Amino acid sequence: MFKKLEILDEKDKHLRKKSIESELPLSKKEKDLIDRIIKELTYSQIEKYAEKYNLRPGMGLAFPQLGINKRIIVIVHEVDDGEFDNYVVVNPKIVSYSNEMIAAEAGEGCLSVNREVEGHIKRYARVTIEGYDMDGNKLRIRAREELSIAFQHEIDHLDGILFYDRIDPNHQFYTEYELRLI
């Protein structure tokens, strides 16, 4: 039985709060919720399930989007057609990043923002994330390109930042000459 998650809308004040560090290891309730998040994010990226369950495509979700202000993020990254890598990071921190900046050419979206938002968001092309897995083991993840953008987007949620906060109102769009668009 599949039951959709109740993802908060951008107007909800929970999304603007800075999240607290999460205690480790995670509780069974938190681990069960992470399993549901992984399932929904995976289904949302597979067309037949997305249609069947009326899911908007998404590759990441942060606990604050479910009204839980803990520093936990989940990313389901499609690495090949129908093949996914799952990332669950508790108390993530960006510990290093590239000088090169990129932006998603089509812009970014968010499961909490149910409208089109136009503009490019400058992000680091490569980031290194440190944090912990669900059992409290230390993690170190190097991410690049699309995955790097996803990590930065989800970590922003933990600090009460929505992606459109990062769109420069004086320079909403970049050309390939100004910034590498992916």
Q: How far apart are CA 182 and CA 168, in angstroms?
A: 18
Determine how β-strand 72-80 pairs with β-strand 83-97.
antiparallel
Q: How far apart are CA 111 and CA 60, in angstroms?
A: 8
Neighbour tally for 50: CB within 10 Å: 15
Nearest to 61 by CA among 36, 26, 29, 97: 36
User: In the chain, which residue ranges form alpha helices assigned H by DSSP?
Assistant: 28-44, 47-52, 145-158
Question: Which listed residue (130, 154, 176, 178) is catalytic?
Answer: 154
145 is catalytic: no
Angle made by CA atoms 82, 147, 59, in degrees to the nearest 5: 50
Nearest to 164 by CA among 108, 103, 102: 108
Nearest to 54 by CA among 65, 42, 44: 44
Determine how β-strand 101-103 pairs with β-strand 180-181.
parallel
Catalytic residues: 154
